[in-house]
Each structure stands twice: as structure tokens, then as C-alpha cells.
């Protein structure tokens, strides 16, 4: 369920007269529009408006041929049938936004002198949420504010509308407090027509689509004031405008409730997945089977395979090699050939007796390099192609090895990659590399790569460990570097304590995780 799309559907129904029933006793919109014209003409006589302010006002009507025409102040008439975007109910009428507004303008085009206090000066960030925000505002002097024309001094009941960058956001002015605003924001001062009804119209996808089509510029697109003034709007009878706004707000409040429930469910699903992984790496997700080959036997096999790789010259022996072993007292010790140390106090949690504690560097090759022919095609995986969260998915591009062998991280089929830079690390950008072109790949340098030694440890089990709260939370404590560019070092990966279950239990753990996550994803997909 897309709540954003649902909100737009409500607004689109509202401006088409399909959200509330019409009342044949309502005064037609044509009468309201005539009253607006008379009021604006009187404002010219009273000196509140100038003649130039109403010279572009027009009347839109349906001719005897059932086509729409527009009559201008000079008496000329033009057929505008091809501009009419949709049909309106009886009693409604089309009008230009400029015709139903006292004024449409924008903020001062010259950056005002700022002061430490005074009158708030709002910028896009103060209204981008769809409401006025006076937090972290700039200020201008009262003298500057007093020199502004009245059309640049918002009043309670006016509408603001963003026109540059994040354009298309309407904001109701619902305060008597004085403030002004930058030129990237337009102001619409309604004349008799309901400001709240205009708010509904300006928030619709109909208006957004026009803004998208008319916006100009490259770095920051801008919707011109002429586009706003010429905007065709559907005008409902005045009393129906009130009903439309009330019904719209009620419906949107329900949608907001759905969105709140959606966020709550997302958090529940996220926390449930985290709990599943926590149970998995502690040996509490599936029961132990006494017939399973012990993890200690599996570990001996890995050590033998590692020695063979060293003999073949494929990897180098660790200059600071040490071994974790379990003593006769069932305590864990670290031996580095010079000293033996009890490490029980360092181990983060208890594991089943059939499991074994190691460090990641004991059973994985960290950040390996590939030696391949230059013309071999391989997979290329930059950071954006690795999903965050718990999915573990990735996509890839195809490059020749010559293009990516230098300046990038290397990996192969079945390797595990984990982001080392913030916020990708905290967001759990980690994956098992599968279906690689010719079995090899390269990618962003902001990855640490772990390559299994032999096939005794399932890559998917390691991935579950790397996505666990235990591993991520401890990793964050080791961050180094400037804020925004912090990373976990290779040392954290190498020395992290890793609980190894028997191979067959790893398989059961991975299967249960996949099944549980699949069910949680079904719930998530069906709700959203």
C-alpha cells in the first residue's frame, strides 16, 4: 500500500468533485466568480489594487457548442477546449488562479541583510514539510520588513507555494506572526475563494504535473509566477469547498494513521529480523543435534586447508599468528606461541558446547586479490548496487578485468562483502556475491571482503553474523576518521570473535532464517 499515492488519489478525487456529493441547492461557482470579479474591481476603486493587477483577469465559460471559451478584459474571446484537463460536475467552473487571487508574488529577489534577531526570514527548508517552521530561521530587521510591499508580507489565510528546487509544496499561513520569505517561495492571496480549498488544489498531482511540465532551469528548476497565475483551477461552489476540505482532511488523517501503523510494523519486522539473527548466532534458533560433527573437528579441517594454501603460496602466514583453543576446563585460551591467555572474559556470550569460538581471520581470507586475464569479463558492483537492511541482495554490471583490476576491491563467487564506511556499515550493506560473471568481480573500495577457506563455513551463516546487532554495534565502537567519513578498520574484521556451529547446524540455521525472513517479507509486502 503506497500511502503517498493514496494521498494523491484523495486530492485528485477532491478536485474533480468525486470526494463529496454535490448539493443542487448550493450557489453555483459562476456566482462566486462574479462576486470575486466585483470585489477586485471595488478594490481597484478603493486603491487596494491597481488596474494592472486585474488586467489579465478573465472569464471562462461554456459556449452553445459545449466548448470552453475564455473572455479577456479587452473583450477578446479564445477557445481553450484543448486546455481543459478533465470534466467538472454541474455547478462548478474553471478559472485562472490569478483571477481568484488578490495577488500572486514571491519573495525579495535581493538577499536581505541578516540580523541575529528580528523578523523571521523563511527559506525552502522552513516550509518543505508542508507547514510553517520557525525553527533554525534566519532573521531580518524590522526596518527591512517594513519596507517590503504588502504582497511580500504574509497574512493569516494566505498560501505559500514553493517554486524553486523542491517546487510544488503548498503551505497554509495560519499565524498572525510577522515573517517574510525568500524568492524561491511564492505567495497566493485568495480573494473570497476558500484558502483551504486552494490548498487542496495546489497539493494535487494535477498541479504538480503542470509544474513539472512548465519548470525551467537546469541545476534548480523553477516554476515561474506566470505559470501560477495562468494555472487553470476547478472552482467548486463555496459551501462545497468547505465540505471538500473537511472530507479531505479526514481522509488524509486516516492515511496518516495508516502511515504511522506502517512505520510501526516496519520497525516490528526490522526488530524481529534482528532478534532472529541474535538467536541464530547464540545457538538458540534451532536445537542442537548430538549426532552433528563437532565444530572443533570442522575447525581442524579448516586449519589443514589453510596450511595447504600457505604451502602453495596462495596466502601468506600471519606474522602474528595465534590460536584459540578450549582447555580441559572448557575455558577458552589464546596462544600466540609465546604466552597463553584466558580469554573467557572477552567472549561476548555463551554458545553451545558443540560450537567453537574463533576469530574471523582464523577461518577467512580477509581482502584477497584476484589474478585474472585482462580480457576476462567480470561483475562490477559499486556500493549503490548492494542492498541495505537484511535482504543481502545485490545486482551487478559487466566490465573487463583490465578496467577494474586496479583501484577496486576484488572478490569471487561465494565471497562475502561488508561495507566499511558510515552510514553503509550501520545500514547493513553486506552481501554474499553470487552469480558473478565468470565467477569473479570487483567493486567499491569501501568494502571488506571475507573469503571462506574451504567449504566448512556457509557464506550465508557468516552473512547472518555480519548483519547481527552484536557485530554492527561493536563495529561502530571502533570507527575511525572524520565525522561522515568514518570506517571500521581491517583489524576489527580480523579480530572479531566468531561463533562456529557444526556444518549441519549451520545449514539448519540458514534454512530457518530464510524461511522466517520470507514470511516476514510477505507480511511487509502485503501491507505496503
Alpha carbons 386 and 430: distance in angstroms, whole number: 7
Contact 488, 478 (CB under 8 A): yes
Residue 264 in this model has a pLDDT that exceeds 90 = no
Tell me the percentage of the chain whose pLDDT exceeds 70. 99
Q: What 3-state class would DSSP assign to 409?
A: strand
Give the whole-angstrom CA distance, residue 516 versus residue 526: 16
Residue ranges, CATH 3.90.220.20, the chain: 3-257, 295-526
Distances from the Cα of 127 to the Cαs of 2, 22, 166, 172, 516, in angstroms? Answer: 24, 34, 10, 10, 42
Closest CA to 103 of 15, 40, 33, 34: 40
**C-beta separation of 99 from 33 below 8 A:** yes
Contact 22, 89 (CB under 8 A): yes
> Which CATH code is given to the segment(s) 295-526?
3.90.220.20
**What are residue 65's phi and psi, to 5 degrees?**
-90, 10
Cell numbers at 312, concatenated: 602453495
Whole-angstrom distance, CA of residue 391 vs CA of residue 412: 20
Query: Residue 452 pLDDT more than 80?
Result: yes
**Residue-level pLDDT at 263:** 81
Burial group, residue 319, by CB count within 10 angstroms (0-12, 13-18, 19+): exposed
Confidence of residue 246 (pLDDT cuts 50, 70, 90): very high
Span 232-253, mean pLDDT?
95
Alpha helices in 405-489 (DSSP H): 459-466, 469-476
387 touches 425 (CB < 8 A): no
Query: Residue 497: beta bridge partners?
Result: 359
User: Is the confidence at residue 182, as pLDDT, over 70?
Assistant: yes
Residue 203 buriedness (CB in 10 A; 0-12 / 13-18 / 19+): buried
Judged against a pLDDT cut of 80, whether residue 36 lies above it is answered with yes
DSSP 8-state assignment for residue 66: S
Write out the H or E segment, with its range, that includes residue 44: helix 29-45
- The span from the CA of 357 to the CA of 350, in Å, is 10
342, three cell numbers:
584466558
Say yes or no: domain 3-257 is CATH 3.90.220.20: yes
- Average predicted confidence (pLDDT) for the chain: 93
CA–centroid distance for 200 within its chain? 25
Angle at 202 between CA 201 and CA 208, to 5 degrees: 110
- First vs last Cα of the chain: how many Å apart? 4
Q: Is there a contact between 394 and 441 (Cβ–Cβ < 8 Å)?
A: no
Q: Is the pLDDT of residue 527 over 70?
A: no
d(CA 239, CA 245): 10
Report residue 322 as a C-alpha cell.
Answer: 595465534
Query: Residue 189 is placed in which grid cell?
Result: 492571496
* Higher per-residue pLDDT: 255 or 191: 191
Q: Looking at residues 480-495, what average pLDDT do you find?
A: 90
List Cβ neighbours of 123 (8 Å cut-off, separation of 6 or more).
138, 181, 182, 184, 185
pLDDT at 195: 96
pLDDT digits 0-9 by tens, 316-363: 888 777 889 888 888 999 987 778 899 999 999 999 999 999 999 999
15 Cα distance to chain centroid:
28
Q: What is the pTM of this model?
A: 0.62
Cis preceding-peptide flag for 125 (omega within 30 of 0): no
Instruction: Name the helix (H) or strand (E) containing 430.
Output: strand 430-432
How does pLDDT run across 77-107, given as a tens digit for each residue? 999 999 999 999 999 999 999 999 999 999 9
How far is it, in rounded angstroms, from Cα 453 to Cα 28? 80
Q: Whats the size of the chain, residue-wise?
A: 528
Q: What pLDDT does residue 127 have?
A: 94
pLDDT tens digits, 37-91: 999 999 999 999 999 999 999 999 999 999 999 999 889 999 999 999 999 999 9
Instruction: Please tell me the number of Cα atoms within 13 Å of 208 on its side-chain side.
Output: 13
For position 219, what pLDDT does the model report? 76
CB-based contact 436:425 (threshold 8 Å): no
Residue 25: what pLDDT? 94
Give one DSSP letter per residue of 354-383, joined into a string: T-EEEEHHHHEEES------TT-EEEEE-G
The packing angle between helices 503-527 and 238-281, to 10°, is 180
- In the predicted model, what is the mean pLDDT of residues 480-508? 93
Report how far Cα 451 is from the mean position of its chain's Cα atoms: 32
Tell me the angle at which helices 238-281 and 459-466 cross, rounded to the nearest 10 degrees. Answer: 120
User: Could you tell me if 193 and 40 are in contact, meaning their C-beta atoms sit under 8 angstroms apart?
Assistant: no
Residue 528: what pLDDT? 54
Amino acid at each position: 500500500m503506497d500511502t503517498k499515492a493514496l494521498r494523491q488519489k484523495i486530492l485528485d478525487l477532491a478536485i474533480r468533485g468525486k470526494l463529496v456529493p454535490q448539493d443542487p441547492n448550493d450557489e453555483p461557482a459562476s456566482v462566486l466568480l462574479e462576486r470575486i470579479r466585483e470585489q477586485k474591481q471595488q478594490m481597484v476603486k478603493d486603491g487596494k489594487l491597481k488596474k494592472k493587477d486585474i488586467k489579465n483577469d478573465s472569464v471562462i465559460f461554456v459556449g452553445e457548442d459545449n466548448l470552453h471559451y475564455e473572455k479577456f478584459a479587452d473583450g477578446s474571446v479564445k477557445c481553450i477546449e484543448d486546455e481543459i484537463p478533465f470534466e467538472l460536475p454541474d455547478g462548478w467552473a474553471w478559472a485562472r488562479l490569478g483571477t481568484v487571487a488578490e495577488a500572486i508574488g514571491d519573495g525579495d529577489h535581493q538577499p536581505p541583510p541578516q540580523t541575529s534577531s528580528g523578523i523571521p526570514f523563511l527559506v525552502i527548508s522552513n516550509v518543505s514539510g508542508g507547514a510553517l517552521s520557525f525553527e533554525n530561521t534566519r532573521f531580518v530587521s524590522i526596518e527591512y520588513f517594513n519596507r517590503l510591499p504588502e504582497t511580500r508580507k504574509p497574512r493569516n489565510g494566505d498560501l505559500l507555494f514553493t517554486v524553486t528546487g523542491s517546487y510544488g509544496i503548498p503551505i497554509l499561513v495560519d499565524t498572525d506572526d510577522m515573517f517574510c520569505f525568500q524568492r524561491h517561495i511564492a505567495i497566493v492571496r485568495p480573494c473570497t475563494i476558500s484558502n483551504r480549498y486552494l490548498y487542496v488544489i495546489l497539493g494535487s498531482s494535477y498541479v504538480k504535473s503542470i509544474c513539472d511540465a512548465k519548470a525551467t532551469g537546469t541545476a534548480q528548476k523553477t516554476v515561474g509566477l506566470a505559470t501560477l497565475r495562468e494555472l487553470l483551477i476547478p472552482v467548486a461552489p463555496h459551501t462545497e469547498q468547505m465540505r471538500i476540505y473537511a472530507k479531505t482532511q479526514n481522509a488524509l488523517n486516516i492515511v496518516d494513521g495508516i502511515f504511522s501503523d506502517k512505520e510501526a510494523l516496519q520497525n516490528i519486522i526490522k526488530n524481529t529480523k534482528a532478534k532472529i539473527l541474535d538467536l541464530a548466532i547464540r545457538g538458540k534458533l534451532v536445537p542442537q543435534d548430538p549426532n552433528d560433527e563437532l565444530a572443533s573437528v570442522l575447525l581442524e579441517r579448516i586449519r589443514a586447508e589453510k596450511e595447504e594454501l600457505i604451502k602453495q603460496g596462495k596466502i601468506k602466514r600471519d606474522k602474528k599468528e595465534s590460536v584459540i583453543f578450549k582447555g580441559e576446563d572448557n575455558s577458552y585460551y589464546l596462544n600466540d606461541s609465546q604466552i597463553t591467555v584466558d580469554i573467557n572474559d572477552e567472549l561476548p556470550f555463551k554458545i553451545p558446547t558443540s560450537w567453537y569460538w574463533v576469530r574471523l581471520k582464523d577461518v577467512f581470507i580477509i581482502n584477497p586479490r584476484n589474478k585474472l586475464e585482462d580480457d576476462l569479463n567480470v561483475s562490477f558492483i559499486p556500493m549503490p548496487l548492494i542492498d541495505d537492511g537484511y535482504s543481502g541482495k545485490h545486482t551487478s554490471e559487466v566490465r573487463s578485468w583490465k578496467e577494474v583490476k586496479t583501484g577496486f576491491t576484488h572478490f569471487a563467487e561465494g565471497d562475502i562483502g561488508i561495507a566499511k564506511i558510515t552510514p553503509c556499515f550501520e545500514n547493513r550493506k553486506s552481501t554474499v556475491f553470487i552469480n558473478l560473471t565468470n565467477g569473479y568481480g570487483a567493486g567499491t573500495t569501501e568494502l571488506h571482503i571475507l573469503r571462506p577457506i574451504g567449504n566448512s563455513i556457509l557464506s550465508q551463516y557468516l552473512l547472518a553474523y555480519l548483519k547481527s546487532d552484536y557485530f554492527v554495534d561493536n563495529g561502530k565502537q571502533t570507527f575511525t576518521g572524520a565525522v561522515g567519513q568514518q570506517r571500521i578498520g581491517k583489524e576489527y574484521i580480523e579480530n572479531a570473535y566468531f561463533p562456529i556451529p557444526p556444518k549441519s547446524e549451520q545449514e539448519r540455521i540458514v534454512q530457518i532464517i530464510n524461511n522466517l525472513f520470507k514470511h516476514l517479507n510477505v507480511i511487509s509486502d502485503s501491507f505496503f
